[in-house]
Amino acid sequence: MKFHEMELNQVEKALETDFTSGLSQEESAKRIKRYGYNELEEGEKQSALLLFFSQFKDFMVLVLLAATLISGLLGEYIDAIAIIAIVIINGFLGFFQERRAEKSLQALKELSAPQVSVLRDGSWQKLPSKEIVLGDVIKFSSGDRIGADIRIIQSNSLEIEESALTGESVPVSKYIEPLNNPNPGIGDMENTGFMGTMITRGSGVGVVIATGMDTAMGQIAGLLQSAESQETPLQRRLEQLGKILITVALLLTVLVVVVGVIQGHELYTMFLAGVSLAVAAIPEGLPAIVTVALSLGVQKMIKQNAIVRKLPAVETLGCASVICSDKTGTMTQNKMTVTHLWSGGNTWTVDGVGYQPQGNFYRGEQQVSPSEEKALQQMLIFGMLCNQADIIQNDDDYVLDGDPTEGALLVSAMKAGFSRTKLLEEFSIIKEFPFDSSRKMMSVQVKDKQGRHFIVTKGAPDVVLGVCESILWDGRTQYLNKSSQETVQGAISDLASNALRTIAIAYKPVSASTVLLSEQEAEKKLTFIGIQGMIDPPRPEVKEAVKECKEAGIKTVMITGDHVITAKAIAKELGILTNKSKVLDGNALAAMSVEELEAIVDDVSVFARVSPEHKLKIVNALQNRGHIVAMTGDGVNDAPAIKAADIGVAMGITGTDVAKEASALVLLDDNFATIKAAIKEGRNIYENIRKFVRYLLASNVGEILVMLFAMILALPLPLVPIQILWVNLVTDGLPAMALGLDRPEENVMKRGPRSPNEGVFSRGLGWKVVSRGFLIGLVTLLAFIIVYHNDPNRLAYAQTVAFATLVMAQLIHVFDCRSEKSVLTRNPFGNQYLVWAVVSSLLLVLVVIYYPPLQPIFHTLPIAAKDWLLILGLSAIPTFLLAGTFLLRKTK
């Protein structure tokens, strides 16, 4: 017999497990040994060796290797060996950089791997999905993705969407009864849940019947490996730039070789010169450094509790112009405490802090005993019954398991002396209709000891009021007329205007035979009992974060399911709602088309009583207005909006698997301030990339120009090819990397967001590259000419001086690159990595100048002390010029 045909006790026996206490830790360890981890096998990974060899696939490296071959054939062994050595050193640098980037991305993947609630040794634990074994009992609820194949053993209105396996996107209801069909299709297996499918509604418990490659998903796993592009827009642009540079380089090479040969230079020398010019024109290290900068940035974000799931988001973050954020838990602490209760015209207050179940009830100033206040008592009891949360006592501490709104209702009832365990002896729960954010209600059907059945509903007061036909007033049920409706509305507004989150309680008796009502049938014709109002204090850091975003040209929009007045009160407190901005409520929003919303969306900063489905409309309207939108979410229904947003943000703690999968960014602490931190980091990463693009390209331009100038002036070549190679492939890399690690400039959050269409050379970068490249070329040439004129017989010496000037001019330039304005605006030694990188590069140059065995290879001669004055003087000129013009402009 197969699992789906068995009675539950047979399943339990067959799997040698226990549905009430789960497997023991020991047993599960044994089963992992026996059956392996619950993982799908991934495609072949690139081995380290392959990665190393892939470094040599680069076009320019191939050109170099061809050049080496030709040198070798012409008997120039020293050149050939030197070039090969440099190419290998370069290959190692690239290899280690890529390796590092790959490792950090892998670590990221593990961080965002799904967790599962597993019953082990009698208690529920969160474990990584890969540790689940056959026989494990797991629980799940709306928004979870199931981690293994399971036989369902408990179902509360459970519905699962199985399109990953069946292609059918309509969710299937799931039950626990055995099937008497030995070979049903996956779509018909109503008592089985499958790995990779998604709970769209309700909750349930299941026992694992297959893991890893044995699951239905495992059998088709090969088909599912979808490759999503992880290249960022900038990376793509740089790649295009690279192609252009290669073409330019090739043309230049041909030109130089032809002109050189016509001028009477030796063919081999010109060939090498051409190749080295081509090398000079192309910043080989650039792509690898971009990847490393991105992955290091991603690691920094992790330290600030933000996990980037899609690499391109790192860049998009810097362009964000609107953040749409949930209120509860993201802007507020999600630590709810009931402080006010209202019923039948009476208001009670209750004191106490957090989930500590101690506090007194008051009516006005007067302390009252809840046992003498009938309506109050009923409201508290029903709030406790229609509830899925649990308050667990840990020594003196009380911790919540479940939804904070429900936790607050438990605590308010506990303060009046009620206990859920005792209540459940008097009332048994027959059926649950779980809460969802669109309905904004939850209900249970309960049976008391006398066998009477009730529906108890709790939910957003205005919504609950809409499904009530009567109201409890002075102990009697009265018809809900217009005036009593207005009274209730007034009470809701009063509580909400104090920033309280409100929950109404209602009920109705039903006949005992009416089991399995649908939620529409259950939630109508109810009797309104009262409202509980709870505080949910704002997170202290959010106000400052909203302010910083404003200064950075980023608008913060609050989107909440909560009452309009509650939302307004909190938005004001946080500085989101100002005199100029508006609040739009869910009903008005629902009635609008995207175009209508577009017309006003720029003025709206709070959307209240919104259903998750509406978020997509908000994203679309904002995007049509040209905004780059970050949108947060946690539930299943939030996923479409998260996906559509430019930066989808999911909550790490309260977020469902589905929301996380749709997102580009996960907030480990669910905190709004983390989005701001990630945006800041995103802006910084982009700026850092600009910094080293500026540095590397200016160096390349300088190298080409010095060679071209010399040729135009019919001078000997000022640099020997191997020297250019050494600069380009070895000494440039470290400072560029260090720029990638630079801290943000002070004004990074004081200016507006960058346009997403911004090209690589925008905001003056192109001019900076060309002008500085020109100056570097010029001073290098000058150094060469001065020394060469002094002693035309010592060409190699003049070349060594030119080589040293080139490197020094670049190493000084790197400090300029730290700032968009001038080296004077930042402490040049503020970046430790950069200081060390420059020192190392300097040593790498000195060693080829002064270490005798390397001199013949690099065609160098030791430079005399006095010439260092010339070198340093000339190479500092460009930076002095820039600083001078900056000062001039400032004083004007």
Helix (H) or strand (E) holding 347: strand 346-350
Output 273 or 442, the one with its CB closest to ligand ATP. Answer: 442
Q: What is the DSSP letter of 538?
A: B
- Of 31-39, 245-253, 557-565, 715-723, which part binds ligand ATP (CB under 6 A)? 557-565
Cα gap 253→724, rounded to integer Å: 14
Q: Taking the alpha carbons of 119, 121, 123, 124 in that order, is the dihedral positive or negative?
A: negative
| Residue among 130, 187, 295, 83 at smallest CA distance from 726 | 83
Cα gap 693→681, rounded to integer Å: 18
Cα gap 153→325, rounded to integer Å: 37
Enter the tokens of residue 311: 């690499």
The number of beta carbons lying within 10 Å of the beta carbon of residue 241 is: 17
Q: Tell the smallest beta-carbon distance from residue 197 to ligand ATP (Å).
A: 24
Q: Tell the smallest beta-carbon distance from residue 438 to ligand ATP (Å).
A: 8
Helix, coil or strand: residue 422? helix
Contact 292, 101 (CB under 8 A): yes
Active site positions, annotated: 326
Identify the residue among 101, 198, 375, 442 touching ligand ATP (CB under 6 A): 442
Output 413 or 730, the one with its CB closest to ligand ATP. Answer: 413
Contact 3, 14 (CB under 8 A): yes
Output 563 or 813, the one with its CB closest to ligand ATP. Answer: 563
- Of 5-13, 93-101, 349-357, 498-506, which part binds ligand ATP (CB under 6 A)? 498-506
Give the distance, in angstroms, between the CA of residue 405 and the centroid of all CA atoms in the same chain. 27
* Residues contacting residue 856 through CB under 8 Å, at least 6 positions apart: 78
Contact 82, 276 (CB under 8 A): no
Q: Which residue is nearest to ligand ATP (CB)?
A: 561
Look at the chain and count its residues.
Answer: 892
Residue 77 main-chain phi, psi, to 5 deg: -65, -40
Q: Tell the smallest beta-carbon distance from residue 670 to ligand ATP (Å).
A: 10
Compose the 368-407 pattern: x for residues touching ligand ATP by CB under 6 A, - for all others.
-----------------------------------x-xx-
Compose the 455-494 pattern: x for residues touching ligand ATP by CB under 6 A, - for all others.
---xxx----------------------------------
Q: How many residues bind ligand ATP (CB under 6 A)?
A: 21
Angle between helices 733-740 and 286-303 (to 10 degrees): 30
Identify the residue among 437, 478, 771, 855 touching ligand ATP (CB under 6 A): 437
- Of 112-120, 432-440, 694-702, 708-716, which part binds ligand ATP (CB under 6 A)? 432-440
| Residue among 312, 315, 317, 299 at smallest CA distance from 103 | 299
Output 133 or 460, the one with its CB closest to ligand ATP. Answer: 460
Identify the residue among 335, 415, 440, 539 touching ligand ATP (CB under 6 A): 440
Output 194 or 435, the one with its CB closest to ligand ATP. Answer: 435
671 touches ligand ATP (CB under 6 A): no
* Residues contacting residue 513 through CB under 8 Å, at least 6 positions apart: none
Strand partners, 740: none
Output 321 or 332, the one with its CB closest to ligand ATP. Answer: 332
Output 431 or 821, the one with its CB closest to ligand ATP. Answer: 431
Identify the residue among 209, 503, 584, 812 touching ligand ATP (CB under 6 A): 503
Q: Tell the smallest beta-carbon distance from residue 731 to ligand ATP (Å).
A: 53
Q: Taking the alpha carbons of 617, 618, 622, 628 in that order, is the dihedral positive or negative?
A: negative
The number of beta carbons lying within 10 Å of the beta carbon of residue 612 is: 23
- Of 158-166, 434-442, 521-529, 775-783, which part binds ligand ATP (CB under 6 A)? 434-442
Identify the residue among 562, 681, 745, 867 touching ligand ATP (CB under 6 A): 562
Q: Tell the smallest beta-carbon distance from residue 441 to ligand ATP (Å).
A: 6
Distances in whole angstroms, Cα of residue 859 to Cα of each of 267, 616, 721, 799? 19, 65, 10, 8
Q: Tell the smallest beta-carbon distance from residue 153 to ligand ATP (Å).
A: 24
Output 152 or 465, the one with its CB closest to ligand ATP. Answer: 465
171 touches ligand ATP (CB under 6 A): no
Cα gap 253→547, rounded to integer Å: 54
- Of 478-486, 555-563, 774-782, 788-796, which part binds ligand ATP (CB under 6 A)? 555-563
Enter the tokens of residue 332: 């507020």
Q: Tell the smallest beta-carbon distance from residue 531 to ligand ATP (Å).
A: 9
Output 326 or 681, the one with its CB closest to ligand ATP. Answer: 326
Residues 304-333 that bind ligand ATP (CB under 6 A): 326-328
Give the distance, in angstroms, between the CA of residue 699 and the centroid of all CA atoms in the same chain. 35
- Of 527-535, 538-546, 556-564, 809-817, which part binds ligand ATP (CB under 6 A)? 556-564
Output 204 or 434, the one with its CB closest to ligand ATP. Answer: 434
Q: Tell the smallest beta-carbon distance from residue 328 to ligand ATP (Å).
A: 3
Enter the tokens of residue 172: 């299937």
Output 250 or 583, the one with its CB closest to ligand ATP. Answer: 583
Identify the residue among 560, 620, 723, 819 touching ligand ATP (CB under 6 A): 560
Output 148 or 386, the one with its CB closest to ligand ATP. Answer: 386
- Of 208-216, 239-247, 500-508, 518-526, which part binds ligand ATP (CB under 6 A)? 500-508
Helix, coil or strand: residue 385? helix
- Of 215-223, 363-371, 440-448, 787-795, which part binds ligand ATP (CB under 6 A)? 440-448
Give the DSSP letter string of 425-493.
HH-EEEEEEEEETTTTEEEEEEE-TTS-EEEEEEE-HHHHHHTEEEEEETTEEEE--HHHHHHHHHHHH
Compose the 611-630 pattern: x for residues touching ligand ATP by CB under 6 A, - for all others.
--------------------
Q: Tell the smallest beta-carbon distance from residue 542 to ligand ATP (Å).
A: 13
Contact 323, 678 (CB under 8 A): no
519 touches ligand ATP (CB under 6 A): no
Cα gap 863→850, rounded to integer Å: 8
Identify the residue among 204, 561, 586, 702 touching ligand ATP (CB under 6 A): 561
- The alpha-helical segments, DSSP class H, found in 663-741 are 672-712, 721-726, 733-740
Contact 756, 318 (CB under 8 A): no
Q: Residues in the site for ligand ATP, rule: CB under 6 A?
A: 326-328, 403, 405-406, 435, 437, 440-442, 458-460, 501-503, 560-563
